[in-house]
Structure 1
């Protein structure tokens, strides 16, 4: 990454696939914040402190500088002063956990759920082949009695590497299900990591944990245990730690009875007079009580039992048909096509319910899935677990072939705007970007997988694709170059009056494109290169004829902090931006609710983004 020196330390203050359903980590339970005004939420330790902010040098291993204040939990672990693990006073069983964290260069940390099961945190920036010990991995178990080279086992690498640079904030969400025990204390169900989402991307899902991972506080599993943050393998910081506990008994369905009616039903039959094809009782809500594959209606009656009064939400899935769920005779969920959701307030105890499932679509496989969530109860499948995924289509994923790959399509941005002439460029370093040929602008930049083309190529499609990693997006599409009378003049929102004309692009031997366009009677070339180690990109913009009063809009963001020597931190330590020595005098200015960094350009401009 060349020359990002120690200025950080001098800054002034396809169709349904039959599989067990993994539901989302949602509930009607309260989210709690772990207070970071002092260390009273944790057991005493020496290397951890409360700070107002932190700075980490991306070039110097383990380096960290803190600023006085509150809100950030910082661990200082260096060669001479090795850090310690931090154990929370709070005990947990089933839990959703969410936080921001920042890694120092070369650091290694981890989140130990119940003190036993580690989700790895590590400086895995730029790696293309990640393992269980890399960022977002579920660390392996360890057994010294196993043969040499096989002591480590049952680790789970992240699906893709979406790790960001040292010294920038990353965000992680974890949904954890604790092991279950019977009345005698015997374990009857292993712990599970239901979900790990890193920087907005799902990287782990429904991973069963056969036992504690290496480095656990104990090999003795339990229903509850402490949250533990690893601190002995390098400096690390955390903020915005929130959690939701799920410690209430799950609702139960009791006294289930069913009746199956043959026919293509538009609505319900008169259950008092209609003759069922089959009927009986069941211990499980399921479509498997029926031998018919199509043109049938199943009607269930029974009771729902809850231990905790409050609002409960239901998600009813009935592929290939319609259905209704009623509680105490009142409709809660009405399904017109495949699935529907609804909420109801329940008292503690039992309440009668009934539901029906009418199937009329030939190609859909029969299935009946009911998901419930409530106070102290994470969303879970209360019906038969062997049901199809509600995602009716296998994703159509595009991988990079060779060193670079290109795909032209529509791209929809998070602000709701559609880029209609987008050119997506993927690299084997797993750093990718989208170029807007209508404006000569870099639209987004991401790492990890390349593109999900399902919206474009499934059935008739809508022509769009989406990044499969979390993308940095650089504001609404506007011309990259503008002619300004002075540095305070408004930036044009489109290319009207600029004479803008796309020329196209040329590919080098590695299929890396250099784009060209004409604007204000000047020909512009625009080339983007992935930095060594996949740490980011370098952009080179050249004017083929000298020009005056032209400015280049480098970035628009909510926050732009100047660090010195051409370096900037963008969006609350979201990523780094470095202007090359060939740039004119940069200007940071207001643009509505955002900031803009603009630079005069007369011949050439280079800048880098590290993320």
Structure 2
């Protein structure tokens, strides 16, 4: 049976709450960028700096500040070596930030063999296997001309940002598998690649090393490598989880089922089960049981490696939003007879804990009850997931159900601007009086018409409207399909007594007058602020690379200001450019505009412009670049 049960409850940490935005997880391992000790010796082109600036408009126009924390490929010298980690990995979850110089190219090689492209693909309409986010093609000189390159996989859509802005990758990679003779029995696979919050690849098989890979053989492990011979690139926040191939397993499952109403799982100790049966999935599968039941599932859990494990449990018939006075269910989990955690109605059916376990096999016991079901939480399934040292986050013995297929209902902006009214989630809050506008250049935005708030921008495809139009459309949400930047959501215009007046959270004098539609199909928003009439418009320029934002105020009224941006920092770059919120996006001001950059009470920065007057009308225009 079990071998050891050492320090089972050491470091026990219980997470219990009425809501659970996402599953808790174990921390990543961070590659140290205070020095280069985590990397193999390499050329002088790889350096650590404190900050980096790549010029949006100039190839090779980058400069850096001394310090550490950011890894840059300095392309100015003769050295153009690749960079490889000392860490060798098999299965891997990888997250990192990267920044491209204008026109630059690089790549990240998993195991030194399988490349995800890094490239300045800003504004590319039809991405190919050479663009940013692509899985690079393979190459065979023996194939016919024009077919030497094969198996390249472009990203599902181009969500690349402008040069000089930080971007993000999240990659889940499954290494190739080999038998005891060293023969490959399964190809490498990119389980998921997410760029800037958008899934661009899922479950893509790679039959061998991609073109230009530093390592051309295939083995169970290899280093993480960054291409150094093709252009300037910067990286930071390189974090990973490396996994072995032996999983946590749950076997020998047996269900003891009870009928009736219950107040506690402790009541089961004195009862005889109504029926007993062997099961192979986690669910209450007793015949005829829908409500008013309890169960005790026993089995054996295999722990492949000693260390700290995270367990997440979800009794799916207990929804997050319930009346805690009406208890419709509860449960508890034991390993080797020790209670790990319990779930009550107040927990919303979800709980999590971390516990230290030594490698071995342990008896496991899961007890639960359900007194009644809710129409929107009918399932009797139980979700038990685990993550640990060298063990990827895994849902154990999950039941697989065939659900009614629902095709995605989407709205795309192909040749003309498209407007869509609906509900929008912004910073976790639902806004009900919104309009979203999609531009053919893949620059999109949402505005709250009721409050006069500029909510969000995104690059990529426009909207998924399935939650609005399928069935009863219960949530009514329109969901951006591209890479979203959520803005602060405060009013764009306000009356200030002087440049130091605190920006208001809302405008009491704001009165929405609807919108006109111009000849191109774009809305022109109309509203009043006190006695001032405002016309506000946005339009994609430079083939969608920029979003121009314009306000016209009549009559020109003293004291009206425009709040252009807010972020953790605002850095003036010259040529009218300002980097916002740790280089998340740029603001471009035309002409010789002189903004006010100030610090708020919450220690963020704001960029403000006064509404200048000319011929009894005030105007301000700026562009957002991302």
Give the match's secondary structure for 2:478: strand
Query: Is 2:487 aligned against 1:474?
Result: yes
Give the match's secondary structure for 1:34: coil
Give the match's secondary structure for 1:461: coil
Give the match's secondary structure for 1:533: coil
The whole-number CA distance in structure 1 between the counterparts of 2:187 and 2:402 is 23
TM-score, reference length from structure 2 = 0.80
C-alpha spacing 1:543/1:144, structure 2 compared with 1 (3 Å): same
Structure 2 gap segments, 5+ residues each = 1-21, 319-328
Match of 1:155 in 2: 152
The whole-number CA distance in structure 1 between the counterparts of 2:161 and 2:433 is 28
Query: Is 2:391 aligned against 1:377?
Result: yes
Out of 48, 51, 64, the residue aligned to residue 49 of structure 2 is 51
Match of 1:13 in 2: none
Deviation at 1:245, TM superposition (A): 2.3
Match of 2:58 in 1: 60
Match of 2:247 in 1: 250
The whole-number CA distance in structure 2 between the counterparts of 1:389 and 1:203 is 25
Deviation at 1:339, TM superposition (A): 7.4
Match of 1:142 in 2: 139
Match of 2:554 in 1: 544
Deviation at 1:447, TM superposition (A): 0.7
Match of 1:286 in 2: 281
Q: CA-to-partner distance for each residue in 1:57-84, whole Å, 9 max, x for gaps? A: 1222343223322222111336x95833
The whole-number CA distance in structure 2 between the counterparts of 1:505 and 1:473 is 23
The farther-off stretch of 235-244 and 463-472 is 463-472
Deviation at 1:190, TM superposition (A): 2.8
Deviation at 1:219, TM superposition (A): 3.3
Query: Is 2:39 aligned against 1:28?
Result: no
Out of 342, 348, 351, the residue aligned to residue 359 of structure 2 is 348
Is the contact between residue 408 and residue 423 of structure 1 (CA under 8 Å) also seen in structure 2?
yes
Query: Is 2:603 aligned against 1:589?
Result: no
Query: Is 2:193 aligned against 1:196?
Result: yes
Is the contact between residue 197 and residue 484 of structure 2 (CA under 8 Å) also seen in structure 1?
no
Q: CA-to-partner distance for each residue in 1:78-108, whole Å, 9 max, x for gaps? A: 6x95833222222222222222111011111
Q: CA-to-partner distance for each residue in 1:290-319, whole Å, 9 max, x for gaps? A: 897975999754322223333323345777
Query: Is 2:416 aligned against 1:407?
Result: no
The whole-number CA distance in structure 2 between the counterparts of 1:488 and 1:367 is 57
Deviation at 1:486, TM superposition (A): 2.1
Match of 2:497 in 1: 485
Is the contact between residue 29 and residue 377 of structure 1 (CA under 8 Å) also seen in structure 2?
no
Is the contact between residue 404 and residue 426 of structure 1 (CA under 8 Å) also seen in structure 2?
yes
Query: Is 2:130 aligned against 1:133?
Result: yes
Deviation at 1:340, TM superposition (A): 4.6
Is the contact between residue 451 and residue 468 of structure 1 (CA under 8 Å) also seen in structure 2?
yes
Give the match's secondary structure for 1:527: strand
Deviation at 1:175, TM superposition (A): 2.1
Query: Is 2:184 aligned against 1:176?
Result: no
Is the contact between residue 25 and residue 378 of structure 1 (CA under 8 Å) also seen in structure 2?
no
Deviation at 1:582, TM superposition (A): 7.4
Aligned length: 576
Is the contact between residue 248 and residue 301 of structure 2 (CA under 8 Å) also seen in structure 1?
yes
Give the match's secondary structure for 2:543: helix
Is the contact between residue 284 and residue 380 of structure 2 (CA under 8 Å) also seen in structure 1?
no
Match of 1:609 in 2: 624
Query: Is 2:205 aligned against 1:208?
Result: yes
The whole-number CA distance in structure 1 between the counterparts of 2:469 and 2:532 is 38
Match of 2:74 in 1: 76
Deviation at 1:417, TM superposition (A): 4.7
Q: CA-to-partner distance for each residue in 1:413-457, whole Å, 9 max, x for gaps? A: 22x455443211111221101123234442211111323445545
Is the contact between residue 566 and residue 581 of structure 2 (CA under 8 Å) also seen in structure 1?
no
The farther-off stretch of 306-315 and 226-235 is 306-315
C-alpha spacing 1:231/1:565, structure 2 compared with 1 (3 Å): same
The whole-number CA distance in structure 2 between the counterparts of 1:578 and 1:48 is 31
Backbone CA RMSD of aligned residues:
3.8
